[in-house]
Structures are given as structure tokens and as C-alpha cells.
Structure 1
């Protein structure tokens, strides 16, 4: 079994594509409370207040929506090169790049479905300017005085044409541990939750009902409390942001959640999983059956149809 702490330290940041960059930027800064920390070309780099790195999210203007890159920080220079070697041994294409501010050399590869993944070690620690200086020295930045004030980027949920090989790649090449999964009556896995840390999950693969490859289900930001998610629902309601489902509680992973569509069309989850950690080094993989999933979420809310059909980029 893969040890709980391996060569990947944590989810670093993601690059999200949007056909409506101005409105998307408004959503992430005004509604969620992220801080702008630089621009390059058609991209804006944003950070959550409790992230120690240069950025948590890169928002890039594009003809369509979706996710371009998911970056993972290694635990050391040696760990980075071990993962690069494993990727090469698995026959995966890869290249080195230095194309992000605050980040050293990135090894850019992809999972079997085509989602771009970048592995790196060197990272610039954020130093807040005077107007964003925190009151406590062990906090990177002051909490925002507006919006939801999300704490950190929590996880990414990829849509995959086939869950099994993508989850296997994340386990065998990157060193993640699976914590929970859905297995259909046919024996085919429909989703798997994986972690690089003591969090219960960092990466999720969910079956894309369209059979498409390389699409995004959602990115998620963690909040301090459940009450922050209730506040987020009110802010989205007041400002015309589409609420897809929630607030409610998942059965799988027990996360309190709210799902919304940012103006560019990408699904964003606000979640509060902060109280649930996987501390057992021999944690057993929890398997949910098709019948168990049909019961809905933890308190009985049925999973709505769009949760299975909406992904980005959109397809005809």
C-alpha cells in the first residue's frame, strides 16, 4: 500500500479557462474573496488568504471553459525527480517548463485521459504587502473583508472517459492513496477519491457519461466553517450566480457543500471538509455500491441530473 505521505506534498494550484474573463475574475475576487497577485499575458494569478505560495488559481481568457493545468508540489527536489522517472517508465510524454511566476521548473505531463499535470519543487513563499499583512505571524495574509473568504484550494474533480486507468496512474505514478470509490453493478468503477496527504482527498476521477476525455467536473475551495457556505449561498443568490445544488452534506467523504457555476461556465464547489482527516496509515478503501449511491446524499437529497451531465469544456 502507498504510504500516507509520499513524494507529492499537496495540490498546488490550477489553471482555469474562461470565455468570460472579466466576469470570472469578478466572481473569484468579489464573491469568493481571492486576491490578485499578478498578471501574465491573458492570465490573472489569484490566491486564497491561507495559501503560502504565489497563487492558488490562474484564470486564463480562452474561447471556451475547462481546466488547462493542475500543479502538484513535490516534497523535495529528489522526490520530484523520482516522480519524473516513474512517469517516464510508464511511457508518458513529458517536458520541462518554466512558465509560471513564483514557481521553479515544472515537469509537465498528463494522465491517461489527457488532463495536464505539472510537478514542481521550487516555490516562492508569499510575502504580503503592508495593506494585506495579517495580525498573526503564522498566517500568510490577512483574511479578506469581503466575499466568502475561502481559505484554500481544496481539490480537483476530473471527468474521465474511464476512471480505472486514470486512478491507477494517480496511485502508481504519483503515489496517491485511494480513500473511497463508487463501483457499479457491472464492476466498473464510476468514481474514485485519492489523497496525497492526511486530507481525505485531493484528486477525484468521475466517469464522464459523454465518453469524452480531459474534461473538468469541478474545482473546490475550502471554507473555515459551514456557516461560510450558507453565506456563500446568499451571496450567490443576491448576485445572480447560478446555484446548482446544495447547501447539503455528501455521504461520500461527508463534506458539507455548495455547487455553483462561475460566469465562465466552470463548476465550483464551496466545501467544508476541514474536520475530516485520514490519519490511519492502513485506511481501507471504502466502496459504495450503485444501490447505495441511488439513496442520494447524506441527508437524503437526490443527486440532480446536471451533476452527471455538466462538465467543461461543454460538448454538443
Structure 2
């Protein structure tokens, strides 16, 4: 009997809505330090993008009383794919319902994950059109290289904090059709972390167990630069701007991403990573399982994982963050 074909209904990670209690300072961070471009405003939200993101925005920065994540959005591969995902999410009882869309895309269907995170699926999107002063010399890139700050190129992935990793994985596998590529299993059989993909990247979303016992929190969003050297340069840029560096530059063992983590002014964690990370081209990929003993060794070259990496998330939790 033939195994069922993998679902390919998602095209890619579209955008993340990030809440910030310090909207002006957070905006200055993403524009001046990260080197991102503002593409629009609507109400309490500012829409931002990396210089080679083709869509109107990949980050929706929304003023709020606290930090955290508003929603995570994926673009589907077609309108038919969107209909299939809506039908599956509705059958699961996870559907919230349709929205009219946003400044950067058309109608979207929202669903709620097991931990309370909001996920959004859409197909009709607004392609970014660079104004004259940002038009590139090469017509096959979205805009001119900004030559500012970190020069974030594109959105890469995000990480959520959850109470039940397995439940969230099952939700994304069934509801969104994503594929598991790597995971962490503790000695007692608990799944402590999972990395899933919708594309030929090794992961578009990751989630790990929240050690504070709090539901629905945000761990980080990641923007890619071209090389490891750019990640090292980013560390100098953050240093010059007085941005707190939590850990790195270094290399993860899981997924082998060359990383650097910082906190933006609103308290949310942001990662800079190399765009040349691994690809998952095998259609029959077998997930890599990391044991508790293996993860206790730290990162790829021996750097121990800092305590805050397991406890700091947004919104903050008193006595933990």
C-alpha cells in the first residue's frame, strides 16, 4: 500500500504580528538597527519588511499594553489549497473564522492552536512595489539594498513557547500540513521541542516547552542575512547601538543555524541568522531525534544554552523573565 503524499498546501511563512509596549522605540530598532523598511501604517500598526521580502510586509508591529505575538500568518500555495486547509481546520474545531484581510493581503482564515496562539492563512497578497528612491538596479530583487544597520534580508522562521509540544505539533501537521524535521525527546518520553517545515527549508516554525508553565507566549522571530560574516557584523552593530545581546554569535546543534539573539526595546527576542542554512530536499525525510543527554551538551561547539533562553518569553512572566 502506498504511503499518502505529503501535503504541500502552504507556500511559506508570511508574517508575524508582534506586540510592543514601546512602539516608537521598537520601530526605530527595526528600521535603524535591523535595517528594515517601513511599507505602511494602519491604526496602531506599522508594517515592515526585509529588503528582499517580496510581500508588502513580513512584520506587523502593533502598539499594545504588553509584548508578545498577535498572530502568525502563512501564505497558501493557491486558493484551492486555502480552501482545503480551512476545511481541515474547521473539521478539527480549531477555526476562529474569516477576516477581511489586512493592509498587506486579502481575506484570511484564522485558527487557534492548542496553546492559544492565533494562526492566519491567506492566499491573495500585496506584492511590494518599491518607490523610486528604493528601486533596485537588478529587477529580480524587491528593493535596493538598504546599507543600514544589520541589513535584514528576509523573514526566515519563528519560535513559540507552548505547554504541550506534541499537541502543537499535531495541530500544525494535520491542520496546516507541515512536516516534522527535528525534535527533542526527554528521557521520560516528553517531547520538549519540535521543528516543522512548509517548504524546502529545514524549518519555518519551531516551538519548545515553556518552563514557566504559561500558555500562548512568544519566543522569537528570525530574520536572515547572507552569511556568517554578516551575523558577526550584526553583533558589532548591536553593540554600537547599545542593544542587549542575549547569546551568540554561535552555531546551534539542532538545525545548525548560525545565530545571534537580542532583545528589541519592547522586550521581544529577535534572532539574526545566516540565510545559507540547510535545505531539506528529501521528500521522504526522516525526522532527527535529539536526546536529553545530547541537548545537555549545549550548542554545536560547546556553548552552554543560557538560562534565559528557556525562561524569557513575551509577554513576560513575573519572577521568570
Q: State TM-score, norm by structure 2.
A: 0.96
Specify the alignment match of 1:289 in structure 2: 291
Distance 1:27 1:121, change over 3 A: same
Specify the alignment match of 2:144 in structure 1: 142
**Paired residues for 1:46-195 under 5 Å:** 46-195=48-197
Comparing 170-179 with 89-98, greater Cα deviation is found at 89-98
Whether the 8 Å CA contact 2:227–2:275 is kept in 1: the answer is no
3-state SS, counterpart of residue 95 of structure 2 = coil
Distance 1:275 1:308, change over 3 A: closer
**Paired residues for 1:203-282 under 5 Å:** 203-282=205-284
Cα RMSD, aligned residues only:
1.1
**Paired residues for 1:5-24 under 5 Å:** 6-24=8-26
Q: Please, which runs of 5 or more residues in structure 1 have no aligned partner?
A: none
State the shift of 1:145 in Å: 1.7
1:226-283 deviation per Cα after TM superposition (whole angstroms, max 9, x unaligned): 1111111111111111100000000000000000000100000101142410000111
Aligned equivalents of 2:144, 2:5: Cα separation in 1: 35
Distance 1:262 1:281, change over 3 A: same
Specify the alignment match of 1:310 in structure 2: 312
Q: State TM-score, norm by structure 1.
A: 0.98
Whether the 8 Å CA contact 1:3–1:177 is kept in 2: the answer is no
Whether the 8 Å CA contact 2:82–2:122 is kept in 1: the answer is yes
State the shift of 1:102 in Å: 2.6
Whether the 8 Å CA contact 2:257–2:277 is kept in 1: the answer is no
Aligned equivalents of 1:67, 1:108: Cα separation in 2: 14
Q: Please, which runs of 5 or more residues in structure 2 have no aligned partner?
A: none
Aligned equivalents of 2:139, 2:275: Cα separation in 1: 25
Distance 1:303 1:275, change over 3 A: closer
Give the aligned length. 316
Aligned equivalents of 1:311, 1:126: Cα separation in 2: 31
Whether the 8 Å CA contact 1:2–1:175 is kept in 2: the answer is no
Distance 1:3 1:307, change over 3 A: farther
State the shift of 1:99 in Å: 4.0
3-state SS, counterpart of residue 185 of structure 1 = coil
State the shift of 1:19 in Å: 0.6
Distance 1:3 1:312, change over 3 A: farther
State the shift of 1:3 in Å: 5.1
State the shift of 1:126 in Å: 1.2
State the shift of 1:4 in Å: 5.8
Aligned equivalents of 2:153, 2:311: Cα separation in 1: 29
Distance 1:191 1:127, change over 3 A: same
The structure 1 segments of at least 4 consecutive aligned residues displaced by more than 2 Å after TM superposition are: 1-5
